């Protein structure tokens, strides 16, 4: 497999978010990954202190121009995550559209990072750009519940959840995975609900839709970078299982499960008894999870609806 990904995300010197969270696991699974760092920070912003630089839209254009001048702007996938600047986001969409013209089979995987738990953590002027330009250009999107509700301007309810998924499909993407939601789980309130929907055309030209749900145990800790890891793993496993969203989601979520379990075990050991782990101690144990990334034991099953 010679499959090349252009990943436009944040970068940290220490820890695992953005490109640091996406690149290693994709490379472990055999993907070539070219990275453009939308920001370069000392560490993620959940620490007490952080320093760094932000890439402007003009600087993004310069980097892409260099790639293009050398005629090495051929990609199979584009992966994007957290962005804070409207002109930068506009430029990303322009690059995606140019790359799609060069390769109509290119798949754009977009994590539309807007906020969580009822609050936006990017400027509000990014929302219409995501709604009108980014999501229509995307093939796979991975919003959380709050982000899906922002994009559609309506609340997510269990009774109409797949009508909502179809509305997201109608905006452009063939694959929609709502990575976490507070919808009621039959297993109780200690579980988050993830939902997936994939539309594809069969060999005889028929359009089929596969829809799944997963009940994921909550963990009492704050992890940073798991959303970036989720989007990267969904890219990888949908590539390796293109017609089986159930398997792709099971492997994606199982990778996250193994990484988080290893991370929380380590963090608690280092923090000591009855002490809450620090952000530094809760950095994802990514390298130590290499074997689980390559071949994850399936620990959480998806239900086909």
Integer-rounded Cα radius of gyration of the chain:
19
Catalytic residue among 228, 244, 292, 295: 228
Question: Do residues 195 and 168 touch, judged by C-beta distance below 8 A?
Answer: no
Question: Do residues 126 and 86 touch, judged by C-beta distance below 8 A?
Answer: yes
> For the chain, where are the alpha helices, taking DSSP H only?
18-28, 57-69, 86-102, 126-129, 135-137, 145-152, 161-170, 226-240, 245-271, 290-294
Catalytic annotation present for 228 = yes
130-164 burial, b at 16+ Cβ within 10 Å, e below that, comes to: bbebbbebbbbbbbbbbbbbbbbeeebeeeebbeb
Active site (catalytic) residues: 228
């Amino acid at each position: 497999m010679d499959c090349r990904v252009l990943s436009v995300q944040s970068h940290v010197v220490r820890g695992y978010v953005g490109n640091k969270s996406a690149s290693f696991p994709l490379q472990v699974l055999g993907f070539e990954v070219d990275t453009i760092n939308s920001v370069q920070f000392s560490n993620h912003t959940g620490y007490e202190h952080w320093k760094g630089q932000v890439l402007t839209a003009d600087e993004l254009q310069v980097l892409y121009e260099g790639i293009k001048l050398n005629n090495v702007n051929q990609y199979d996938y584009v992966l994007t995550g957290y962005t804070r600047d409207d002109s930068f986001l506009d430029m990303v969409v322009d690059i995606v559209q140019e790359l799609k013209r060069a390769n109509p089979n290119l798949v754009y995987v977009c994590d539309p990072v807007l906020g969580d738990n009822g609050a936006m953590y990017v400027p509000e002027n990014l929302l219409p750009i995501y709604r009108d330009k980014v999501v229509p250009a995307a093939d796979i999107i991975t919003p959380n519940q709050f982000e899906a509700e922002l994009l559609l301007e309506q609340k997510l309810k269990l009774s109409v959840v797949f009508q909502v998924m179809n509305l997201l499909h109608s905006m452009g993407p063939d694959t929609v995975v709502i990575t976490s939601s507070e919808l009621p789980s039959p297993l109780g309130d200690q579980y988050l609900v993830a939902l997936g929907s994939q539309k594809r055309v069969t060999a005889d030209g028929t359009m089929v839709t596969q829809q799944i749900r997963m009940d994921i145990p909550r963990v009492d800790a704050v992890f940073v970078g798991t959303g970036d890891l989720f989007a990267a793993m969904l890219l990888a496993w949908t590539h390796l299982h293109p017609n089986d969203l159930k398997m792709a989601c099971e492997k994606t979520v199982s990778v996250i499960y193994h990484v988080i379990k290893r991370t929380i075990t380590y963090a608690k050991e280092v923090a000591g008894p009855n002490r809450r782990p620090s952000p530094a101690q809760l950095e994802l144990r990514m390298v130590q999870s290499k074997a689980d990334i390559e071949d994850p034991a399936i620990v959480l099953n998806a239900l086909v609806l």
